[in-house]
């Protein structure tokens, strides 16, 4: 019986150590789809965009369609809180087991996506066909070709790497007690946007407590933040950016503005003009690109691993585009008024996901869907430690205690969407 099935379709089996092993994920994915004759909706990635779409799907859709999700990880992480993981402010609150968040009728497959073609998704352990594809594979580090940055700098681009940064920083500071190498106490953050500012501020506060506990002279800690543009937090007006800079300096952070990085070395950063900032730990927060799977998927034209989409989240210059949705950090959606891409933010990803849920319902019900996606950037708040923040609300500046309370509330909204009232108090 086993060999007749293998002869019938070898892709449902794989050879391991000279033993024929059934590929259960692929077998049930394919057979279930054929037997039930339902539309197959395949989600890729478990970030903000895809999860916000999945959470917004009506229950009745799962009776009409076979919904599957492929993700590298068995968990979801709250990306805008990863700086707290890296700094040691809060390691656990940003991580969620994935299965309890999903409708039980979703077929979850933990696997690594390698490539996407027009009718299949290829993973490490199999291949999956679909009727509708929703791709939200997230982002990766973009170093803009700066020499040495890829090799020597760490990046807060996922939960595991945030934990790695945490481990590297605190191990080096512990090692200093034996080696007395003061360069181990020097940490440089490259990029003065939201991620860089939030991380270095959080780290500054955590290191003060840690040094007291470990009886290490905190005055020897050197934290640097480097920004190429005229000011840190360039999305804000200058007055707000100055408030943020002054707050960082009060926390002991050296802020370098108008400082273009030429090269990253193992023990420091070389700036345009010849200045060298010594540091044995270097963190890159200055740029992201789409997931590398996108540039490996040549059926979908992309720029920096981001697929440009139209107002329905369908890829441009692709045949039968209505069966594909690209959302989140691996998509590129332009402001129709300026023809410039919106920056890839959590706010944009969440709204794209909610929009796609409506489009999927119409597709499954075979109804015409004419509503175009539109986006107006809302509130943006940057925390500078756990007791201060700066930002804009309804395009008006805000700072201080009220701003940090708003920042916490914004973070809690996603947690509430994931877990209900339990998530709000996590």
Q: What pLDDT digit, counting tens, does each position of 54-107 carry? A: 999 999 999 999 999 999 999 999 999 999 999 999 999 999 999 999 999 999
Query: In 3D, which of 329, 370, 335 has the Cα closest to residue 352?
Result: 329
Residues β-bridged to residue 80: none
Confidence at residue 18, expressed as pLDDT on a 0 to 100 scale: 52
Residues β-bridged to residue 315: 309
Q: How far apart are CA 155 and CA 149, in angstroms?
A: 10
Which sequence spans correspond to the domains of the chain?
Answer: 2-141+289-376, 149-284+381-424
Known active-site residue 198: yes
According to CATH, what is the number of the domain 2-141+289-376? 3.50.50.100
For residues 157-164, give the mean pLDDT.
97
In 162-196, which positions are buried (b, 16+ CB within 10 angstroms) versus exposed (e)? bbbbbebbbebbeebeeeeeeebbbbbbbbbbbbb
CA angle 221, 225, 226 (to 5 degrees): 140
Q: What is the largest CA-CA distance in the chain?
A: 74
Count the neighbouring beta carbons within 10 Å of the beta carbon of residue 67: 25
Helix (H) or strand (E) run with residue 194 in it:
helix 194-214
pTM above 0.85, yes or no: yes
Check for a shared fold between 2-141+289-376 and 149-284+381-424: yes
Confidence at residue 4, expressed as pLDDT on a 0 to 100 scale: 41
Per-residue pLDDT tens over the stretch 379-418 = 899 999 999 999 999 889 999 999 999 999 999 999 999 9
Q: How many CA atoms lie within 13 A of 47 on its CB side?
A: 32
**According to the CATH classification, is domain 149-284+381-424 in 3.30.70.100?**
no
Backbone phi, then psi, for 292, in 5-degree steps?
Answer: -60, -20
Catalytic residue among 89, 142, 198, 411: 198
Per-residue pLDDT tens over the stretch 13-53 = 555 555 454 555 555 555 554 445 799 999 999 999 999 99
Confidence at residue 426, expressed as pLDDT on a 0 to 100 scale: 73
Count the neighbouring beta carbons within 10 Å of the beta carbon of residue 86: 29
Q: How far apart are CA 135 and CA 41, in angstroms?
A: 11
Confidence at residue 415, expressed as pLDDT on a 0 to 100 scale: 94
């Amino acid at each position: 019986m086993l060999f007749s099935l293998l002869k019938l379709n070898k892709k449902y089996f794989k050879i391991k150590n000279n033993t024929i092993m059934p590929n259960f994920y692929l077998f049930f994915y394919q057979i279930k789809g054929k037997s039930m004759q339902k539309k197959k909706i395949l989600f890729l990635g478990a970030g903000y965009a895809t999860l916000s779409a999945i959470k917004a799907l009506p229950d009745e859709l799962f009776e009409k369609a076979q919904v599957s999700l492929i993700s590298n990880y068995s968990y979801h992480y709250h990306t805008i809180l990863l700086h707290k993981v890296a700094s040691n402010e809060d390691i656990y609150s940003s991580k969620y087991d994935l299965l309890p968040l999903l409708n039980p009728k979703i077929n979850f497959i933990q696997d690594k996506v390698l490539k996407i073609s027009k009718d299949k998704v290829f993973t490490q352990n199999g291949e999956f066909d679909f009727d509708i594809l929703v791709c939200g594979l997230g982002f990766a580090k973009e170093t803009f070709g700066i020499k040495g940055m890829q090799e020597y700098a760490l990046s807060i681009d996922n939960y595991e790497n945030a934990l790695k940064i945490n481990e590297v920083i605190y191990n080096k500071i512990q090692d200093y007690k034996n080696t007395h190498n003061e360069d181990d106490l020097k940490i440089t953050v490259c990029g003065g946007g939201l991620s860089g500012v939030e991380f270095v501020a959080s780290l500054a506060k955590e290191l003060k407590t840690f040094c007291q506990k470990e009886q290490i002279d905190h005055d020897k800690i050197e934290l640097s933040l480097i920004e190429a543009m005229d000011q840190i937090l360039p999305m804000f007006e200058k007055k707000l950016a100055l408030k943020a800079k002054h707050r960082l300096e009060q926390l002991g952070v050296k802020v370098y503005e108008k400082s273009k990085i030429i090269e990253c070395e193992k023990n420091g950063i070389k700036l345009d003009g010849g200045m060298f900032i010594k540091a044995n730990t270097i963190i890159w927060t200055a740029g992201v690109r789409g997931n590398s799977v996108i540039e490996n998927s040549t059926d979908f034209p992309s720029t920096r691993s981001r697929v440009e989409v139209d107002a329905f989240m369908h890829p441009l210059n692709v045949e039968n585009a209505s069966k594909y949705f690209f959302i989140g950090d691996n998509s590129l959606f332009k402001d129709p008024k300026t023809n410039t891409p919106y920056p890839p933010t959590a706010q944009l990803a969440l709204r794209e996901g909610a929009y796609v849920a409506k489009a999927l319902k119409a597709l499954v019900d075979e109804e015409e869907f004419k509503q175009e996606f539109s986006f107006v950037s809302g509130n943006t708040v940057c925390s500078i430690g756990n007791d201060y923040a700066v930002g804009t609300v309804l395009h008006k500046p805000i700072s201080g205690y009220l701003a940090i309370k708003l920042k916490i509330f914004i973070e809690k909204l996603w947690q509430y969407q994931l877990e209900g009232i339990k998530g709000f108090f996590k």
